[in-house]
Chains A and B, each alone.
Chain A
Amino acid sequence: MTEIIQKVKNLSIGFKSKKGEEILILRNISTNIKKGETVGIVGESGSGKSTLALAMMGYVKHGLYTIGGECEFNSSNLLKMKNRDLEKIRGRKIAMIPQNAGQALTPNLKIGYQIDEALKLHSDLKEEEREQKISELLNKVRLPSPETIALRYPHELSGGQQQRVAVAMALAGTPDLLLLDEPTTGLDVTTQAHVLELLNFIAKDTGTSMVYVSHDLGAIAQVSDRIIVMYSGEIVLEGPSRDILKKPIHPYTYGLLKSIPKLSLAGLPQSMPGSQPQPGTMQRGCSFFDRCDFSEEKCKSNSPQLEYLEELNTSVRCFNHKSLMNDSQVNQTVNKIKTSLQDKEILNISEVSISYAKQNLLDQVLNRISDDNPTVKDININIKKGETIALVGESGSGKSTILKSIAGLLRTKGGVIKFDQKRNLPSDLKERDPNDLRIIQLIFQNPDESLNPNHTVEEIIAQPLKLYFGLKGEELKKNIKELLQKVRLGEFYMSRYPRQLSGGEKQRVAVARAFAAKPDIILCDEVTSALDVSVQAAVLNLLQQLKEDFGTTYIFVSHDLAVVRAISDRVAVLYQGRLCEVGPSKDVYQFPSHPYTEVLLGAVLEPDPDIKPKLVAEDIVEEKPPQKGCSFQGRCSRILGDICKNEIPPWQITNSGNSIRCHIPLKELQKDQIN
């Protein structure tokens, strides 16, 4: 048996509520981390996974305290250790890679200094040796020109680079155990795949044990040997990675896996009802009882214990795991999306370009925008009534920018946006009449910020109804109730404030508000990114249902390609504000033809240990689109030469109606798909 490096025993952490009750964040957690293994801790927000990871370093956040149990490292309990002794373990024996490196690097200190600080604390190297070591570390995490990076401040690096610096900093003390708290969550798909590959390499190269905390089963699947699934502060399932992902024997994990959209499957995944109970609201019995498809009478009053199954080397907290064992192959069934596509085009975007360049005084006087290389350029998309079209691309691809321009929130530099083939929508919001504003509604990414915290749900939904239709009194109330019913929220939600709702419920209110205006087009800006996976599926299903009921057209922006696959009829791939490929989802996903589409789809992480991401291009961050030629020339692995650098590629149209903007002839682009 391999050596155990960290032993968590009956750990409970919690806080005192205002009423003096003890509220548990972690409930009686026990697990072991062995030398050299990578353990994935997965759970949704509020499951206690980050608290657990921090406790493994002997760190408990301000306001929380240890109620019982211990975290044993080298046979001493970290949670009882003095700070002076902890300082010798943190960074040297156990190191942390934080979720958001941009926030976790001290803003006033140079990168080199911050790594040097760790070296000074945890090694006996002399100054010159340390300098060399810094370069070595930065090299190891594959950062270009380490010497110059070391002299920069954190804000001068891109998100992916910051994350790599955080990895280098953690490696500086050559720790035995690395704790990773959602290390790739804020990154682009391609960057995320590259960082994960780097972490895998480091784990193999140094033999370091890792604890990888994430809500993303796709990322967990790529790195872990063993997976711990957490639900409302408890371990509900723990076992070898492959078994858990392929044959989950706990209903929560089973439902979670089913609710994740897959690239290979069109259609909406099944959603899990309800949401995770808040800490302190736990009832007697199984905490998953309310949402469970397999529950029985005894689950309501008795809490199942974590049971170790020798033959599977798995621990599970469920009375019913045996029945799940028989048919738990995750055979994903999806709700096929019905397309109510009509031939009529509802929105024509032609030759649109948008610039973020600041106007100088002369331009302001002449009321013009001068920028020969605008952020977004040459956008031509015709959107049919009842269609769901998705704009995809990495951050900086201009997808949200285009959305803002359609909504009128951002002036275009040129081009025309025509509604219903009749009306040219003015680019300036002030020139749009109330009806222009009504026909296009927006749903934002983060309902916490898009809902006014001082308004009740009733007031929030009433606003568009009053504004556009002048409804009052009883009729207004009736309409609000109908809308709430449509988004599956009960009438009693009317008097609630946003803070009293869960993330999923808030987004439902935002959806209801958008539909209140009876719009023709709804712009969805990353509407599910802030939600937990199990809630995401429910919101996607709701959006689809409403679309079928009302015949609305969706313009859907997301960085999550699997979500886009699930909901959209057509996809437009953007790079650096230029279109690369537009076509039916089926074709774009099954036969990715544009080199950039291949890169994007290759980097998607699936919750399946057998599907590895394909890393085609480097994850360089480009600040600005190139002056001339193809927008993707800087990262393209199939670049032909000067023609790509100098000439804007032509549109090529395939038999299935897929338009691709590339210099490589169609035949060659398609030949690749067969291999």
Chain B
Amino acid sequence: MLFLIIKRILLGLITLFIVSLITFVGTEILPGDACTTYLERQAFGEQLEACYRRLGLNVPAYERYVSWAIGAIQGDFGYSLSGEMPIKEVLGPRIKNSLVLASAAIFIGIPIALILGIITALWRDKLPDVAISTVTIFAMTIPEFISATLLILIIAIWLEWLPGIVIVPTDVSFFELLPNIILPVIAIAMIMTAHMARMVRSSVIQVMASEYVQMAILKGVPYWKMVFTHVLPNALLPAINVVALTIAWLLGGVVVTEVVFNYPGLGRLVIESISNRDLPTVQALAIILASIYVSINLLADLMTLMLNPRLKTLQIRK
């Protein structure tokens, strides 16, 4: 068991190392470098030299990688070219904002998804299932930029209930941010909830058809007791990994929604840094998003390990 956990952690670290290499090599083999892309037509002479010195580009690539990696481990990602300040300071508030958005979506989305998934599975092919399943399929298939735009149009512009786009400074306090995030949260939660509800539905249906559920019924276990002791623990186990992936996606991948709502999160920073050709920031974002993915998946794996008796006791039999 312990061995397994250590193995997983090591594998995660190796993944991160490979990601860092790829992003570093990627930016390295692109024509030009951070200074030439950033300075554009001014990229010559004294100015270029100064930029090189400031970014430390005048030493060989492997040395730069090592010093960059050592810095990254300590949380120092270097200097943002467009923000004219350390990347650490650019990232801090962005991470906080993304966390706020993601956790709001998670706290609303996951319980709703579980409830909808379970209801649709238990009333399979009956009216509640047909109704909810139709809605979830719609929510899944409408792209987020359309649903987000529709939300803005209806709730912000026609009804004028909530602000349509987020016009706040990046480092605004949590309570000032709150009314601004309601629409983005709804837009994100819709897709996420729909995906998860469908996944929970199929998982519960599968378990309901299993022989041990039939056995529990034939044992005379009352219906709801059977659902809670025999069905749900086994049905939700495989859902943990899906939830983890969703959370990881929330933290970094909601680029489109953040852009539509002008939300100052990590996703928008990715777009901004790319369009500003701020390569050091892009590098830092790549490694941070990768770490989020790796650590959340690791967490999910560990949780599955803890909850699954088969893996917990880890008996080796043929």
Chain A residues packing against B (C-beta within 8 Å): 54, 57, 59, 61-62, 83-84, 86-92, 95-96, 98-100, 103-109, 117-118, 121-122, 153, 155-156, 166, 169, 173, 356, 396, 623
Contact = CB atoms under 8 A, between A and B. Distances in A.
Interface in B175-233: 209-223, 229-230, 233
Contact of A98 (B215, B222, B315): B215
Nearest to B317: A623
Contacts of B307: 108
B218 A96 contact: yes
Given A57-B218, A59-B218, A103 B210 contact: yes
A166 B219 CA distance: 11
24 contacts: A54-B218, A59-B218, A61-B214, A84-B222, A86-B220, A87-B220, A90-B219, A91-B220, A91-B221, A92-B220, A95-B218, A98-B214, A103-B211, A104-B211, A104-B214, A106-B212, A107-B234, A107-B309, A108-B237, A108-B308, A121-B219, A121-B222, A155-B310, A156-B315
Given A98-B215, A103-B211, A106-B212, A121 B221 contact: yes
Given A107-B309, A108-B309, A396-B318, A90 B233 contact: no
Contacts of B222: 84, 87, 121
A92 B209 CA distance: 23
What are the nearest 7 A-B pairs in CB distance?
A91-B220, A90-B220, A103-B211, A104-B215, A153-B309, A91-B219, A96-B218
B229 A100 contact: no
A98 to B, nearest CB: 6
B313 interface: yes
Instruction: Identify which of A89, A122, A156 gathers the most chain B CB atoms within 10 Å of its CB.
Output: A156
A98 B220 contact: no
Nearest to B125: A62
B205 to A, nearest CB: 10
A266 B22 CA distance: 69
A173 B220 contact: yes
Given A91-B218, A155-B310, A356 B211 contact: no
Contacts of B313: 153, 155-156
A103 B210 CA distance: 8
Nearest to B229: A109
Contacts of B223: 83
A625 to B, nearest CB: 13
Nearest to B216: A106
Contacts of B215: 96, 98, 104-106, 166
Given A83-B223, A121-B220, A108 B211 contact: no
A396 B233 CA distance: 32
Interface of B: 209-223, 229-230, 233-234, 237, 307-310, 313, 315, 317-318
Contacts of B317: 623
Nearest to A103: B211
Contacts of B237: 108
B142 to A, nearest CB: 32
A169 B212 CA distance: 13
A370 to B, nearest CB: 17
A94 to B, nearest CB: 8
A90 B218 contact: yes
Contacts of A100: 211
A118 B226 CA distance: 12
A99 B220 CA distance: 18
A118 B211 contact: no
Contacts of A91: 218-221
Nearest to B223: A83
Given A100-B211, A155-B315, A356-B318, A106 B220 contact: no
Contacts of A156: 313, 315
B108 to A, nearest CB: 28
Contacts of B212: 103-107
Given A90-B217, A104-B214, A62 B234 contact: no
Nearest to B308: A108
Nearest to A93: B220
A467 B253 CA distance: 49
A169 B211 contact: no
B218 A155 contact: no
Contacts of A61: 214
Contacts of A107: 212, 234, 309-310
A191 to B, nearest CB: 16
A14 to B, nearest CB: 19
Contacts of A88: 220
Contacts of A122: 220
B211 to A, nearest CB: 4
Nearest to A61: B214
A96 B213 CA distance: 13
Instruction: Identify which of B220, B222, B308 gathers the most chain A CB atoms within 10 Å of its CB.
Output: B220
Nearest to A172: B219
